[in-house]
Amino acid sequence: MELLVESVILASRWLLVAFYLGLGLALAIYAVSFALKLWDFASHVIGLDDTEVILKILGLIDAALIASLLVMVIISGYENFVSRFDREDEVHWLGQIDAGSLKIKVASTIVAISSIHLLQVFLNVTIYTPNQLFWYTTIHIAFIVSALFLALIDRISKKPAKAAGPEL
């Protein structure tokens, strides 16, 4: 009975594939959205002032960071929780991204996305109330503090490497 339960639990990890495939589809849809934003930017760049150009470019950078985050979650999640990739030579860098590292990378990407959004807000500061500016800034600081705590927890939880050489 125990072996059957363990086999079912171990096999259940393959259910995660549906989520990763769904994220891949979401990435494809987001790529279409990115292409439309890029086309809109390119077709109207002549009539935009410097601030509007910067805002459009920041929007594109934001989209690229979100897409990178999706790819990171899909690939490392599959590698860590479902199965190793057979094409080791193509994905040799995956061994460096464990669950803890993935959390740090996700948190860092969220902070970067939040930074870009906050910069967009400050470039359009006149359309926001002081209360809105306060909350945007506070939420961004919360993201930063969360990322720092995740990094600290990850660092504390890692076992120190054994020193090479004879013990004294």
Domain boundaries, the chain: 21-157
Asked if 104 contacts 151 with a C-beta cutoff of 8 angstroms, the reply is yes
Q: What is the pTM of this model?
A: 0.72
CA dist., res. 116 & res. 58, Å (int): 6
Which helix or strand (DSSP H or E) is residue 125 part of?
A: none
Within its chain, how far is the Cα of 159 from the centroid?
Answer: 25
Consecutive sets of 10 residues in the chain, 168 residues long: mean pLDDT of each?
89 92 97 96 90 89 90 84 74 63 83 90 90 94 92 79 53
CA dist., res. 139 & res. 126, Å (int): 20
CA dist., res. 37 & res. 43, Å (int): 10
- Please report the pLDDT score of residue 34 as a whole number: 96
CA dist., res. 47 & res. 41, Å (int): 10
Count how many Cα atoms sit within 13 Å of the Cα of residue 76 in the half-sphere of its side chain: 20
Size of the chain, expressed as the number of residues it contains: 168
- Please report the pLDDT score of residue 158 as a whole number: 75
Asked if 111 contacts 147 with a C-beta cutoff of 8 angstroms, the reply is yes
- Please report the pLDDT score of residue 94 as a whole number: 57
